[in-house]
Amino acid sequence: MFEAPLSNGERESGLLDAFVQMADTLVDDYDIVDVLHELASHCERLLNVGAAGILMSDQRGGLQMLASSTEQAAILELYQIQTNEGPCWDCVHSGETVFVPDLTVAADRWPHFVPRALNEGFAAVHAIPMRLRQETIGALNLFGRIPGPMPARDVRAARALADTATIGILQERAIHRSEVLTEQLQGALINRVIIEQAKGVLAQAGNVDMDHAFQALRSYGRRRSTRLSEVARQLTTGEIHPDTVLSDQHHSNS
């Protein structure tokens, strides 16, 4: 199996909070990158997986990595795009769930991806399509650190979380139609680049890893009801000093 499960009470309470938070986000003007990071973070925290990542279609036949719960997951998602192979890649292109409880048996299927994933400490993977009816817009990748099947109830929860995000994104697309859709996704990709730059600024300024830098960035924005991408922009342009973001995170954890 993936990891030691949460207690029933902790899991149910956490899932309820996750659905409420995502619903609250999606009914208002929202940042796609932030919504997808929420999805990845909820999955890692509540579904007993080692990490989660998300690939999305760029509407031009390619894929883009838009969110991950850890830097390890981000690296593996980007690696799938570079090599044109892997569970998330297959999931997006087939529109079907891809479940491999033991990665060592999938070396022939994904000769580049499997060694890289094993080297990162992952032993199992489950990819869930982000799909509404016949339209697949991306895939949610769940990485386990020990081999074995993912519990059925966790699979159902992951699908429900992914469906919630998918419906919200597609609803926004339906409102703005296809020409705005391309612009929206392009904006999300630009925002992701800015967020990565801001993470690097914080990591260097505070001598912390990229995961810690991202949490500091996100927490700073949430406490001020400011979009993640906007906080990142202010940080990279010098409107916010890195020490302000890092000290704010420190005080919130005190």
pLDDT digits (tens, 9 = 90+) for 203-241: 999 999 999 999 899 899 888 888 888 999 999 999 999
Q: What is the pLDDT of residues 36-51, one digit of tens each?
A: 888 898 888 888 899 9
> Which of the pair, 178 or 134, is modelled with greater confidence?
134
pLDDT value of residue 2: 44
Q: Give the C-alpha separation, 139 to 158, whole Å.
A: 11
Rg of the chain taking only CA atoms, in angstroms: 18
Q: Which of 60-69, 132-141, 243-252 bottoms out in mean pLDDT, i.e. has the lowest? A: 243-252
What is the rounded CA–CA span in Å between residue 190 and residue 225?
A: 21
**What pTM, to 2 d.p., does this model score?**
0.68
Q: Give the separation between CA 245 and CA 200, rounded to whole angstroms.
A: 13
pLDDT band at 75 (very low <50, low <70, confident <90, very high): very high
Assign 3 a pLDDT band (cuts: 50, 70, 90).
Answer: very low
Q: What is the pLDDT of residue 36?
A: 86
Give the confidence band of 173 by pLDDT, cuts at 50, 70, 90: low
97 to 82, 140, 148, 243: CA distances (angstroms): 21, 10, 16, 43
